[in-house]
Amino acid sequence: MYGKNYYVYIMSNNHCTVFYVGITNNLDRRSIEHVHKLHKNSFTTKYNIEKLLYYETYDNPNDAIRREKQLKKWGRSKKLLLIKKENSEMRNLLKE
């Protein structure tokens, strides 16, 4: 029906002290925007967010938006458990 993928993702700084939850329809482009700090006054630039740790793919944008809102309400420990379930070594998925 929608014919497009939507991504909910979690990124962090190099020391994994800050998590950022976002949504996009182009994960590669959005990750590059964060890493190269193309939005100068953004949260991701301020906190040096450049590691992609986790993402989920959705066909329906409304499902992706719901999930993003859910994850944004979660505390750090719950997000960390979710990330480690799929990415136990906390690797930067941008480099894979």
Average pLDDT of 30-43?
A: 84
Residue 96 pLDDT > 80, yes or no?
no
Residue 39 pLDDT > 50, yes or no?
yes
The 3-state secondary structure of 36-61 reads CCCCCCCHHHHCCCCEEEEEEEECCH
Residue 2 pLDDT > 60, yes or no?
no
Residues 6+ positions from 77 with CB-CB distance below 8 Å: none
Pick the CATH number of 6-90 from 3.40.50.180, 2.60.40.1180, 3.40.1440.10, 2.60.40.1220: 3.40.1440.10
Average pLDDT, the chain: 92
Please report, for the chain, the start and end positions of each structural domain, with discontinuous segments joined by +. Answer: 6-90
For position 82, what pLDDT does the model report?
Answer: 98
CB contact at 8 A, 34 and 50: yes
Residue 1 pLDDT > 70, yes or no?
no
The residue behind tokens 């066909």 is 59
pTM: 0.91
60 alpha carbon, distance to own chain's centre: 17
